[in-house]
Chain A
Amino acid sequence: MSELSELFDRDPLSLTDQDLEKIIARMREHQAQFELGAKLERVPAAKPKSTKTANLLKELGLE
């Protein structure tokens, strides 16, 4: 059982301020991970260069 599940299964009247802080901190971590993932999804993958462009760059010594 994860730490978070354990906190959720406990009588809330017995939760300390530190327990509540832990719950909020975990939720924030999950949110940050989710938003990072969403941002990465929005960044388009670099388009592979065509062979012609790659050869030209090689000829010009730019790659």
Chain B
Amino acid sequence: MSNTPLVDGTKFQWAWDSTSLGWLKECPRKYQYHMLEGWRGRGEAIHLEYGIFYHEALEDYELYRFQQLSHEDALQQVVKDTMIKTWRDGKPWRAANDLPANDKASLKSRENLIRTIVWYLEKFKDDPAKTLSHPSTGKPMVELHFQFEIDEASPASPDGRPYTLCGYLDRVVEFQGQPFVMDRKSTTTTLGSYYFEQYEPDNQMSLYTVASQIAFRTPVKGVIIDAAQIAVGFSRFVRSFVFKTPDQIDEWMKDLKIWLRQAEQYVAENYWPQNDKSCHKYGGCPFRGICSKSPSVRDKFLESDFERGAWNPLVPR
């Protein structure tokens, strides 16, 4: 099976993760720019890298603890590993310095990353949410890749390939006797109710609940959002719950099939329309400045303001 989410030589996507599906739902044009053409803003690369370093550090901590290292030793090892990973070409990872001061990605620096990791692991060293063990390997259920086919034919696919859902679960835990997926977020946004409301309902939370139930046969009740706020001088952590009933999951799957039909329609017409009611939501679309220009000059502005970085949900993190 191909290792690209698009059927070769077409714009037909057969493997979907929550990110690409989210782009399609927000705005077909955003989906076209991000997913089909691989454009991304310069600040986005920093958010993405920062998130990967943060997730890897917390995953490694879990694995070190599984290997019977003490909290102190596991923490020290994780700090060392992260310092090494963030040392590039003989100097510290300081991509954030290339950004304008008002770009929030500038908060995501190397020093803030280490601070966030240490503060998080100190705060949750006696975490009431316990990582579950994988039923077959016995290893901690962290950074779990999932990929499964859904019961939906894909008539637009030239080779009749079924649709596949894929992605990663950060962690599967037991909390107060109930299984949950735990999803870790790092943000520069204040962690108030406004922040957490964006996840209920939310595409990613529904997909993760389905994935845990289908791919890992763990009947989770929903998702615990484990958010870290990165600010000037401090990092703050807040957890919130998103519960999902079986009826809600059935509804999400039903809607998904309609969205996939819609995606097929865009491919058939080779056109992904703007959803101009979405431009200012979700913190503002990175392509607002492009879509506000005349179609004839957009490509030039994309070339100058964005960089290429194809999103492939099938590639391991």
Q: Which residues of A does B touch, CB under 8 Å?
A: 4-5, 8-9, 11-13, 15, 17, 20-21, 23-24, 27-28, 30-31, 34
Contacts and interface: CB of A to CB of B under 8 A. Distances in A.
A34 B84 CA distance: 27
B250 interface: no
A5 B92 CA distance: 11
B282 interface: no
Nearest to B76: A20
Given A20-B79, A24-B76, A34-B234, A12 B118 contact: no
A34 B119 CA distance: 11
A28 B123 CA distance: 10
A28 B120 CA distance: 11
Contact of A27 (B80, B84, B87, B114): B114
Interface residues of B, number: 19
B246 to A, nearest CB: 40
Interface in B38-93: 75-76, 79-80, 83-84, 87, 90, 92
Q: Which among A4, A9, A24 has the greatest number of chain B C-beta atoms within 10 A?
A: A24
Given A9-B92, A11-B90, A15-B83, A27 B115 contact: yes
Given A20-B80, A28-B122, 13 more contacts: A5-B111, A8-B83, A8-B110, A12-B87, A13-B84, A17-B76, A20-B76, A20-B83, A23-B79, A24-B79, A24-B118, A28-B118, A31-B122
Given A15-B80, A20-B80, A30 B87 contact: no
Interface of B: 75-76, 79-80, 83-84, 87, 90, 92, 110-111, 114-115, 118-119, 122-123, 233-234
Given A11-B87, A20-B76, A24-B79, A31 B119 contact: yes
A38 B85 CA distance: 32
12 contacts: A4-B111, A5-B111, A8-B83, A8-B111, A21-B76, A23-B79, A23-B114, A24-B76, A24-B118, A30-B234, A31-B119, A34-B234
Contacts of B83: 8, 12, 15, 20
Contacts of A23: 79, 114, 118
Q: Which among A12, A20, A28 has the greatest number of chain B C-beta atoms within 10 A?
A: A12
B305 to A, nearest CB: 31
